[in-house]
Amino acid sequence: MTALNLTTAERRDLRAQAHHLNPVVVVGGDGATPAVTREADAALSAHGLIKIRVFSDDRAEREALMKRLADELGAAPVQHIGKLLVLWRPIPVKAKARPPEEDRGAGTKTIRIVIPSKSGNHRPTVKKIRLLGNQRVTAGGSVKRAKTRQTSAKKKASG
């Protein structure tokens, strides 16, 4: 992969966002091993914008590492300040794992309850109530939880 290119305005915004981040990947004395590359790839997939701390005193080595990681991971080099490297890659869009809303079971729903006035000359009162999946409205207009099914001791022993 090749590294992404950013405009100066995009780079400035990303530097501002990265200011408050803590390093999520640490490159130790062994340098950039394949495990470091895998961790950086996973962190970029999860967060998009990451900081990497490099425990090397050689500035040229850190610059080369930043360029190599950006090329291998398809990321954009944002900033190299001291021993911190900042990389950015857009987060991939995840496919929905759950079925559409109409296929799901009972969830929250909003119900309007119309309470007629005591005299016929006034408007009825309308209340909006939010019900959870285990709740129901009684004939009197109050909300009750659905009862949990209780099994008898005989059924428990036989099942």
pLDDT at 110 over 80: yes
**Per residue in 8-51, pLDDT tens?**
999 999 999 999 999 999 998 888 899 999 999 999 999 999 99
Q: Which of 46, 56, 88, 55 is nearest to 69 (CA)?
A: 88
Residue type, 134: N
Q: Which of 93, 94, 76 is nearest to 18 (CA)?
A: 76
Q: What is the pLDDT of residue 130?
A: 87
Alpha helices in 34-97 (DSSP H): 34-47, 59-73
pLDDT at 127 over 90: no
Structure-model confidence comparison of residues 116 and 54, the more confident one: 54
Tokens of 10: 């995009």
Q: What's the predicted TM-score (pTM) here? A: 0.59
pLDDT at 79 over 90: yes
**pLDDT grade for 99, boundaries at 50, 70 and 90:** low
